[in-house]
Amino acid sequence: MIGDGDMADKKRSLTGDRPTGRLHIGHYFGSLQNRVKMQDDDSIERFVMIADVQALTDNFNNPQKVRDNVYQVLLDYLSVGIDPEKTTIFLQSMVPELAELTVYYSNLVTIARLERNPTVKTEIAQKKDVFGESVTYGFLGYPVSQAADITAFEGELVPVGEDQLPLIEQCREIVRKFNSIYGDTLVEPKAVLPESANERRLVGIDGGAKMSLNKRIKGLDGNEKMGKSLGNAIYLSDSEEEITKKVMGAVTDPGRIKKDDLGNPDICMVAYYHGLFTNPEDVKIVCQECREGKRGCVACKKQLAANIIKKLEPIREKRKYYEERPELLDEILINGTKKAQEIAKETMRKVKANMKLNYFDK
Ligand code: TRP
Ligand code: SF4
């Protein structure tokens, strides 16, 4: 129940993903791992939202894709260890208060401000195929809807990747504006970026150079971004064969033709991925042998593929467990959504009261 004494000093965290595709290892290192780790912290009440409404903003003409991916993303969550007993998993579209809040917040944001949001700006530029020359009202306004998601749950902590920072900032502005006009009502959120756990894994790829921790994980082809359309990502649900095939096709130091050519692991994606999946001592050996021309690329890739397969094996097994029990999936979503609805209703009541919209309340 909301308002329980023991909940009073708990902070809430809210985060989510658009169900537009299966999740890949970039998501894993970027945020999933962090969410699983946060589950041990009793001072936080956690919510994870499958953002189907937001997914529709640029997939409005493909509802089946969104629906199918709701279940794929849920399976990804469960398979990495997001535990529905510890984290409330819910569906955005099933909490209509979020849409209602979006309408009220939309008065507090200008078009110019939305157009300046760097995340939205980049996305619009990338989505010319969807929007043509003029972006929809819904897509331009999704930061407003995201502010509704966060504030409906008084989500003080928002664990996200770096790309989401402009959205959190926009949410904070909406909160301040709302509170200044209608009185103190909403909680200002803070972003929680993926932290040192990643740094530890990433340091020492070449025994020295330090990879930056909040950056996205690059694709197997060296592209800054990992994605389905680019074909350069390893999905959490990939089979052993798919993983091996993808690793064998990864971009290596182009200067190495023969095994005894001296290599440069700094420009090799296989070395980069060893940094994520291979233990630090072995990473040092990989880089050293590569530089000295004592290591063949094929063997190096095989070693990497084996390490990735091993790391993802428990994830694949857990996924299989849930795939074989689809009734559990609906049960998890229904229970989580019920809990989310209660909290959103409570926020809505406060918001409407302060906006003088509480007509029939006694
Ligand atoms: N924008 C997020 C993404 O691109 C999804 C999302 C929707 C979200 N609502 C949120 C993230 C609220 C954090 C908090 O995947
Ligand atoms: Fe990359 Fe390994 Fe080949 Fe060196 S030996 S270039 S690290 S694949």
Parts of the chain with a pLDDT under 70: 1-8, 195-215, 362
Whose structure tokens read 């493909």?
A: 62
- Amino acid in position 303: Q
79 C-alpha to center of ligand 1: Å? 20
pLDDT for 55-66, tens place per residue? 999 999 999 999
pTM over 0.85: yes
CB burial readout 100-137, b (16+ within 10 A) else e: bbbebbbebbeeeebeebebbeebbeeeeebeeeebee
Q: In the prediction, which pLDDT does 230 show?
A: 77
In whole angstroms, what is the distance from residue 264 CA to residue 259 CA? 13
Q: In the prediction, which pLDDT does 361 show?
A: 79
Q: Would you state the structure tokens that stand for residue 361, as one six-digit string?
A: 């309340």
Which ranges of 2-42 would DSSP assign to H, the alpha helix? 25-27, 33-38
Mean pLDDT score across all residues of the chain: 90
What is the three-class DSSP state of 101? helix
Q: In the prediction, which pLDDT does 92 show?
A: 98
Which ranges of 106-263 would DSSP assign to H, the alpha helix? 111-116, 118-126, 128-131, 137-140, 142-152, 165-182, 196-202, 240-248
pLDDT for 190-212, tens place per residue? 998 876 434 434 433 333 334 44
First to last CA, the chain: 21
Q: In the prediction, which pLDDT does 145 show?
A: 98
Q: Which atom of ligand 1 is nearest the CA belonging to 155?
A: 14
- Our mutation pick for probing the ligand 2 site, out of 277, 297, 302, counting the most ligand atoms within 8 A of Cβ, is 297
Whose atoms come closest to the Cα of 297: which ligand? 2
Q: Is the CB of 303 under 6 A from ligand 2?
A: no
Q: In the prediction, which pLDDT does 194 show?
A: 76
Q: In the prediction, which pLDDT does 210 show?
A: 40
Closest CA to 115 of 128, 102, 105, 124: 124
Q: Is the CB of 278 under 6 A from ligand 2?
A: no
